[in-house]
Amino acid sequence: MKKSPRKLKDPKKGSSSNVKAAEKANAEVDSNKPKLVRLNKYIADAGICSRREADKLIDNGEIYINGEIASRQGIKVNPSDKITYKGKLLKGEKLRYVLLNKPKGFISTSDDPHDRKTVMQLIEKACPERIYSVGRLDRNTTGLILFTNDGELTTKLTHPSNGVKKLYHVVLDQPLSKNNLLRIMEGVELEDGFIKPDNINWVTDEVNKKHIGIELHSGKNRIVRRLFEHVGHNVIKLDRVMFAGLTKKDLPRGRWRFLEEKEINILKMM
């Protein structure tokens, strides 16, 4: 009886366990390599423009990599590479835009030496990137705060010359008379300058006239509270219900959401 011929082992093939070990080793080597990113994506993530527009900047010789003009489209760059546009170093991380409906009792700082609750605790799981608040609300004021790592947009939204409007719902300790409403509407001189709101009125369905809606673009500290204090009223509750066209719709107190692309585009066009 003939024995079946024994199959010779292919020297190019190892055992399944050896193959898996080799694949794991290669994966570990690859994971240690810096992840390359297409140059146009890096530029877009830095908030300069879209990827398509980034390609045009590259074609026009306006993008530099480590001091040299980017030669062509399709180049991939390391996170450690220095990418510049008009002499400005670009930060190639994904831009984030987070809108928070702030509850009472939280301060609008990154950290606090007195260990009080901060707004950063409310959005800490939103994204891995470090984001910052665009303007502030005091501890007892509720409502909308925008957070982002887009420095260019932050400058645009906080600079007084751009007149970014904010709408507040105010509850006073006593009804606001027509005379005092007109005084505020015409503008008042405070210790740090003249302030005139863009609009002010009683909330239409409020009989006792303690509830006021006021719209203004000033970013001065405690400006709403100081306006009413100037005419003899204390603010009991203060809620920012609109910021730069963004509203609290479908955003419960203490919750956050990412801005939609169309919202981001509108902010950038302001």
What is the 3 state secondary structure string of 16-76? HHHHHHHHHHHHHHHHHCCCCEEHHHHHHHCCCCCHHHHHHHHHCCCEEECCEECCCCCCE
Strand-pair partners of 193: 190
Q: How many domains does the chain have?
A: 3
| Average pLDDT score over residue span 122-147 | 92
| Cβ-contact 42, 77 below 8 angstroms | yes
Pair 85, 132 in one domain: no
In this structure, is residue 27 part of a structural domain? Answer: no
Catalytic annotation on 138?
A: yes
The mean predicted confidence, pLDDT, of the chain is 85
Highest mean pLDDT among 73-82, 112-121, 139-148, 154-163: 139-148
For range 206-215, the mean pLDDT: 88
Look at residue 28 and tell me if it is in a domain: no
**For the domain that residue 79 is a member of, what is the CATH number?**
3.10.290.10
106: pLDDT confidence band, cut at 50, 70 and 90? very high
Distance (Å, whole) CA 38 – CA 74: 6
Which comes out higher in pLDDT, residue 232 or 35? 232
Confirm whether 144 is domain-assigned. Answer: yes
Q: Helix H segments across the chain?
A: 16-32, 39-45, 51-59, 151-158, 178-186, 223-230, 261-269
**Interval 239-265: pLDDT, tens:** 999 999 999 999 999 999 999 999 999
pLDDT > 70? residue 98: yes
pLDDT of residue 8: 41
Longest dimension (CA), the chain: 118
Residue 21 pLDDT greater than 60, yes or no: no
pLDDT at 54: 87
The reply to whether 269 falls in a domain is no
Q: What is the pLDDT of residue 242?
A: 97
Instruction: Name the pLDDT band for 71 (thresholds 50, 70, 90).
Output: confident
Domain end among 50, 65, 89 = 89
pLDDT score recorded for residue 9: 47
Assigned domain for 6 exists: no
Question: In sequence order, what are the beta bridge partners of 76?
Answer: 38
Identify the CATH number of the domain in which residue 171 sits. 3.30.70.1560
Query: Position of tokens 């409403």?
Result: 181
Containing structural domain, residue 219: 165-243
In this prediction, residue 45 carries a pLDDT of 79
Residue 119: the pLDDT is: 95
Looking at the structure, do residues 209 and 224 belong to the same domain, yes or no? yes
* 30 assigned to some structural domain: no
The pLDDT value recorded for residue 44 is: 80
Mean pLDDT value of segment 132-139: 90
- From residue 235, give the alpha-carbon distance in Å to each of 33, 86, 168, 246, 259: 57, 47, 12, 24, 30
32 or 137, which is more confident: 137
**pLDDT at site 24:** 52
The catalytic position among 59, 111, 138, 173 is 138
Confidence of residue 29 (pLDDT cuts 50, 70, 90): very low
Which residue shows structure tokens 């005139």?
A: 196
CB distance 238 to 142 below 8 Å: yes
For residues 99 and 79, membership in a common domain is answered with no
Share of the chain above pLDDT 70, in %: 87
Rounded Cα–Cα distance for residues 112 and 10 (Å): 66
Q: Is the pLDDT of residue 65 over 80?
A: yes
CA 50/CA 240 separation, integer angstroms: 32
Are residue 227 and residue 169 in the same domain, yes or no? yes
pLDDT at 79 exceeding the cut of 80: no
pLDDT band of residue 12 (cuts 50, 70, 90) is: very low
